[in-house]
Amino acid sequence: MDLWRPDLAGRISMVDSPREVVGAVLKYMGTSYNTVDINAEVKGGRDAVKHNLALLAKQVLLLADLSTDAVVFLLEHWWKALQNNT
- Condensed to tens digits (0 to 9), the pLDDT of residues 27-76 reads 999 999 899 999 999 999 999 999 999 999 999 987 777 666 666 776 77
Instruction: Provide the domain count of the chain.
Output: 1
**Domain membership flag for residue 64:** yes
Domain that holds residue 69: 6-84
**Domain membership flag for residue 70:** yes
Q: Which residues contact 10 (CB under 8 A, 6 or more apart)?
A: 59, 61
Q: What is the pLDDT of residue 75?
A: 73
Q: What is the pTM of this model?
A: 0.70
**Domain membership flag for residue 1:** no
More confident residue, 83 or 4: 4
**Domain membership flag for residue 62:** yes
**Domain membership flag for residue 31:** yes
Q: What is the pLDDT of residue 79?
A: 73
Q: Tell me: pLDDT of 11 over 80.
A: yes
